[in-house]
Structure 1
Amino acid sequence: MGRVSQAQAQENRGRVVDTASRLFREQGTQVSVADLMKAAGLTHGAFYKQFASKEALVGEATAHAFATLAGHHAAGLEQHAGQRDAAQRALIDTYLSVAHRDDPAGGCPVAALATDIAREGGGPEARRVYTEGVAGFADFLATEDQDGIARLCTLFGALVLARATKGSPLSEEILTAAHAALTESG
């Protein structure tokens, strides 16, 4: 089998990063390289041509997840003509939805990756990227009346608890209560 072109190699790398970003959010960073590469439609050996280590990929996949999140924030601002409060309200509506609860792979990296990052799943680079992503998300959520970190903690905690209690009435009650807490004061 011949060598792949530089363009194809870049495309393959992007596919691996995107697949890893989704799988790590869905299943955790313990996903094996073999399973990851199979999901990306590539061979296990191709991984080592693209990445120095799995730890390096975790950092890159975490950055990709947060870049996607930041893109959603920017799109929300654009959609709401720069009205930050309207964009934040739309984000809260989406974040505390059953659809988001049920889609960890496509959802927020803050909630999906917290436990793995806390256990050093991905090493210091992943922790640095995660920390910067959390800070950026909190900055987006800040208002004149509410601290962004407190709002993020409410979103994060509600989503994690709703996912853990999925299948019970409590799950949707958690989402509803957190939504009310974040939107009642404006």
Structure 2
Amino acid sequence: MAAYAALVSVMHIIDTLEKHPTPPISIDKTQVESLTQNVTFLQGFLDGYISSVVAHGHEADPLECHIADAVYAVEDVIESQIVLQIRKRSTVVEDNDFFHDLHKVIDEMNLITKEVKKIAVETQLQQKPTIAVLTTSSTVKENMMVGFEEVFLEVLDKLTGDHLKRQIIPIVGMGGIG
């Protein structure tokens, strides 16, 4: 949970800096894109991730801890630069140290993302036989949405698409129908 919360927090910081009329710091566009892609991917992964460590005990999952530590490092670099600029009470100044520090933490995020992608592929390969068995079960057939495939695909695309800006997606219907 801490990793997911950290990912949400760093995305909030990036969004705030991008939307601020006079941001206290400037971040290179490629760095912002790389961070956004990594954070979005890791959030999606953690949404469906079930740790085998947590399922068997009360220990923290090493992968989640690794993700959280990397994201905290990103936050620290960005927030330290913001504090530095505020203390200087100056306009936005290019800072090569900030660029390199941010580059280091982004590289760490890239490594974690590669590691997570390997885990996701391995998990998916292990679950394929299970999925085939589940699709033939009668409970899956009973709970499938019928007659609204286009609407379902449209909503699914809106929820899982690579939209950089936040959207409000109203889903309405009779209360109690699921």
| TM-score past 0.5 threshold | no
Tell me: higher relative CO, structure 1 or 2? Use CA pairs within 8 A at least 6 residues apart: 2
Bigger helix fraction: 1
Q: TM-score, normalization: structure 1?
A: 0.27
Q: TM-score, normalization: structure 2?
A: 0.28
Considering only CA atoms, is the larger Rg found in Structure 1 or Structure 2?
2
